[in-house]
Structure 1
Amino acid sequence: MTAMQAVALYSGLNILLLLYLAINVSLHRRRAKVSLGVGTDAGLEQACRAHGNGTENLPPALIGLALLGLLGSGTLVIHALGMALTLGRGLHAYGLLTDPGRSFGRVAGTALSWLVLLVSALLLLGKAIS
């Protein structure tokens, strides 16, 4: 597997996660009969935030992975970052959808996601100035 095939793998998996979260929001909206905003439905608010958080964090992370792949980072680097990202986003979504408060999934998922963003940014800056 090439680095760019690994980027494609993690991009595809995370896009599927976002699609699941979007469908989950739609189902909650239908059940709660709320077409805009969240009304007073706690489950809809959780679903919206899980989806929203994914849409806030995944684009820069996937762009970072793609740029690293295009700039010649090794497949191992892409796999390490891609696995951490996918695990982090999955844990965060699960944690938020099952518990609106602080949970292991939310904390660990956030930490992994931010770590991927930080490492990707540092690697990209290193490639830019080398």
Structure 2
Amino acid sequence: MDPLASAHAAALWVGLHLILLLVLSVLVTRQRRRHRVEIGDGGVPALNQAIRAFGNATEYVPAALVGFGVLALVAAPPLLIHPIGLVLFAGRVLHAIGLTRSTAATWPRAAGVLATWVSYVAIAAALIFYAIP
């Protein structure tokens, strides 16, 4: 196996998740400008939802990206990294869509949380597996 293949796989998912974080950040900025709120949520539900969608992603995505980086360092196969990256990305997108559309418990939010947790478990298990010589 090409030793850089793992790094390329990780790079794809890190890049896509960074774009997702940027998009969510832009959505917060758009709501701030639309409602003329410079700090906090100004009591505007749509702004609060955008802030939480971005905030939730920033709470979960960075640790997973570190996990991808370490998986690349230990030369985990791309066929391990790609499915985890896809599940995490799909989960984060679903969660953001669900949260920006409603404050209620919706299926996209629930599916997004589940996908995120499954990804976390998969990353953790893979890291522990590769840590044992």
**Residue in structure 1 matched with residue 117 of structure 2 by the alignment:** 114
Normalized against structure 1, the TM-score is what? 0.95
- What is the CA distance between 1:119 and its match in structure 2? 1.5
Partner AA of 1:31 in structure 2: R
**Residue in structure 2 matched with residue 35 of structure 1 by the alignment:** 38
Helix, strand or coil for the counterpart of 2:40?
A: coil
- What is the CA distance between 1:34 and its match in structure 2? 1.1
Q: 2:11 aligns with which of 8, 19, 30?
A: 8
Normalized against structure 2, the TM-score is what? 0.93
Q: 2:84 aligns with which of 81, 86, 89?
A: 81
What stretches of structure 1 of length at least 5 have no aligned partner? none
Helix, strand or coil for the counterpart of 1:40?
A: coil
How do 1:87-98 residues align onto structure 2 when only pairs under 5 Å count?
Answer: 87-98=90-101
Identity level (%):
39
1:16-67: CA deviation from partner (whole Å, max 9, x where unpaired): 1110100100110111111111121000000000000111111001110111
- What is the CA distance between 1:72 and its match in structure 2? 1.6
Partner AA of 1:112 in structure 2: A
What CA distance in whole angstroms lies between the structure 2 residues aligned with 1:53 and 1:99? 15
Consecutive aligned runs of 4 or more in structure 1 exceeding 3 Å deviation: none
What stretches of structure 2 of length at least 5 have no aligned partner? none
What CA distance in whole angstroms lies between the structure 1 residues aligned with 2:6 and 2:105? 35
**Residue in structure 1 matched with residue 69 of structure 2 by the alignment:** 66
What CA distance in whole angstroms lies between the structure 1 residues aligned with 2:65 and 2:15? 10
Partner AA of 2:24 in structure 1: L
Partner AA of 1:119 in structure 2: A
